[in-house]
Amino acid sequence: MNKSGKTSTLFLLLLVVISIAAAAYLYMEWDKGKKEITNLQGQITDLENKKQEIEKKYKDTLIQVEDLSKKMKDAEVQVASLAENLDSANKSKEEALAEVEKVKQELIEITGSKDNLVKELSDAKKELQVLKGKLKFEEQTKKQSSQDAARSDVQLDKIVVAPADNQPAIATIGRVLVVNRDYDFAVVNLGQGDNIKVGDKLSVVRDNKIIGSLQIEEIRPTMSVAKFDSQGIKENIKEGDNIAL
């Protein structure tokens, strides 16, 4: 075998080794992503169960509030009736007034419990949306990694798309992952490592135009929760919109 043949053989062997190493790396990344997604799905299931428990407690509390409200109205009727016979039933009136005060106090306590349950339900739903956003982010990252690996040995010419109407392109730094219109917030893929802080305002960009703004409420390691901060953004924002500072 001549020198050229040996060189070709070595080159082919090198390519085979590189291909095997790349395949092993991609498989490990795929397996890691799969485990992370399974873990997130388990967390989402737990939160769904917690949300259902809170909703049940909330409904039970409403029933208690209605029952106590009825008792309070009955007691007030009794007080009114006793007031007409004050001379002969003064003691009964005082007992009825005490019962009214007792029912009022119980109603205040139940109402406070209802407010706490509403807040817990809101927090659970927000946590659920954040986890769904994280799951979507992991799936998108995994898909992008696979696409990048498939294109790693192909060199493409750089394509530049000019913005419409010759307007300067708006520099974006992230995108919208999840939109929750029931509780007026969105989840974006900007986290603790993206030089942002609570209270920062973010512009929502689509087709190189700003359609509204968000304000950061909570920052996680890889994503953040931001409330709607401009008129009309609740109706216009959608998943996939870009984010700019």
Whole-structure pTM value:
0.46
CB 241 within 8 A of CB 204: yes
Share of the chain above pLDDT 90, in %: 25
Considering 150, 183, 205, which residue would you say is the last residue of a domain? 150
Three state DSSP letters for 76-128? HHHHHHHHHCCCCCHHHHHHHHHHHHHHHHHHHHHHHHHHHHHHHHHHHHHHH
Mean pLDDT of the chain: 79
- Cβ-Cβ contacts under 8 Å for 61 (sequence gap 6 or more): 110, 113, 114, 117
| Residue-wise pLDDT tens digits, 17-47 | 898 988 888 888 888 888 888 888 888 888 8
Examine the domain organization and report whether 130 and 193 are in the same domain: no
Same domain, 121 and 178: no
Q: Please report whether residue 15 resides in a domain.
A: no
Distance CA 209, CA 168 (A): 10
pLDDT range class, residue 77, cuts 50, 70, 90:
confident
Identify the weakest region by mean pLDDT among 69-78, 158-167, 202-211.
158-167
More confident residue, 161 or 69: 69
* C-alpha dist (Å) from residue 17 to 49, 150, 158, 195: 48, 17, 30, 40
C-alpha separations of 27 from 31, 32, 146, 151, 172 in Å: 6, 9, 10, 16, 32
Position 30 scores a pLDDT of: 87
Task: Tell me, yes or no, whether 58 and 124 share the same domain.
Answer: yes
CA distances from 102 to 60, 68, 96 (A): 20, 10, 10
| pLDDT for position 159 | 32
Q: Is the dihedral of CA 128, 133, 139, 145 positive or negative?
A: negative
* Per-range mean pLDDT, top range of 75-79, 123-127, 141-145, 231-235: 231-235
In a domain, 14, yes or no: no
Tell whether 33 is covered by a domain: no
In a domain, 203, yes or no: yes
pLDDT greater at residue 23 or residue 176? 176
Examine the fold and report which residue of 122, 150, 178 is the final residue of a domain before the chain moves on: 150
Q: pLDDT confidence of 86, banded at 50, 70, 90?
A: low
Residue 20 domain-assigned (yes or no): no
Same domain flag for 136 and 208: no
Q: Identify which has the larger pLDDT, 214 or 89.
A: 214
The pLDDT of residue 166: 63
- Domain membership of residue 12 (yes or no) is no
Of 149 and 180, the one with more pLDDT:
180
Helices 90-150 and 3-84, packing angle to 10 deg: 170
Residue 174 and residue 135 share a domain:
no
Q: Examine the domain organization and report whether 168 and 146 are in the same domain.
A: no
The answer to whether residues 186 and 217 belong to one domain is: yes
Element (H, E) at 51: helix 3-84
- CB atoms < 10 A from the CB of 134, how many? 23
> What average pLDDT does the segment 231-240 reach?
92
Q: Is residue 237 part of a domain?
A: yes
Let me know whether 136 and 170 are in one domain.
no
Domain of 206, CATH number, reads 2.40.10.410
Whole domain around residue 217: which residue ranges? 164-244
Q: Provide the number of structural domains found in the chain.
A: 2
The torsion defined by the Cα of 23, 29, 33 and 36, in degrees rounded to 10, comes to: 140
Please give the distance of CA 171 from its chain centroid, rounded to a whole number: 25
**Same domain, yes or no: 174 and 221:** yes
pLDDT digits (tens, 9 = 90+) for 92-145: 777 777 877 777 777 777 777 667 777 777 777 767 767 776 566 556 555 544
Q: How confident is the model at residue 165, as a pLDDT?
A: 56
Do 118 and 204 fall into the same domain? Answer: no
146 in the same domain as 50: yes
Residue where one domain finishes, among candidates 150, 185, 219: 150
44 & 145 share domain: yes
Q: 212 or 109: which carries more pLDDT confidence?
A: 212
Judge whether 1 lies within some domain: no
| Residue bearing the bigger pLDDT, 136 or 52 | 52
Handedness of CA 20, 25, 26, 31 (dihedral sign): positive
